Amino acid sequence: MNLDSVPVTFSVTSETENQLEIKDCNESNRTVAIIEPVQPVVTDSKKQQESVVAIFATTFITIFLAEIGDKTQLSTLLMSAESHAPWVVFLGSGAALITTSLLGVLLGGWMANRLSPKTVEKSAGMMLLFISLMLFWDVIFNS
């Protein structure tokens, strides 16, 4: 029997207030659908704090290890040695690193809101492949 042809009545069952029973007018052909409401997500503030600390620690360690001995650190070292004003060089390089990090975070947030993760992964993979091929070409043919 098609449900569209028979009037449907809605009533709350006695088992719980959050379940809904749908009945046909014909009792021999009874259709029952139980719909449970979505429970609100309760976030534990302690768990949320742990995840914020974990994200911060992971980001700090990753960037710290990646920056050791790179050209930015070497440039800062040389500028500090030349200028004899290490605190001014520290403030300048710190401001530059904060600014570039802010640009990266803003661009990443923009991309996350507008592009699917698969698109971002494929684009990053293609860019890294292109850079690798360019470096390989340079090593092989410009030696």
Give yes or no: residues 33 and 92 share one domain. no
Same structural domain, 62 and 30 = no
Whether 51 and 103 share a structural domain: yes
Confirm whether 71 is domain-assigned: yes
Cβ-contact 83, 93 below 8 angstroms: no
pLDDT tens figures, 81-97: 999 999 999 999 999 99
Tell me whether residue 67 is in a domain: yes
Residue 23 CA to residue 30 CA, distance in Å, equals 6
Residue 143: inside a domain, yes or no?
Answer: no
**pLDDT digit string, tens, across residues 2-24:** 555 555 454 544 444 444 444 44
Helical (H) or strand (E) element with 9 = strand 8-12
Instruction: Give CA separation, 136 vs 18, 73, 124, in Å.
Output: 64, 26, 18
Note down the domain range covering 69: 45-135
Tell whether pTM > 0.75.
Answer: no
For residues 91 and 108, state if they share a domain.
yes
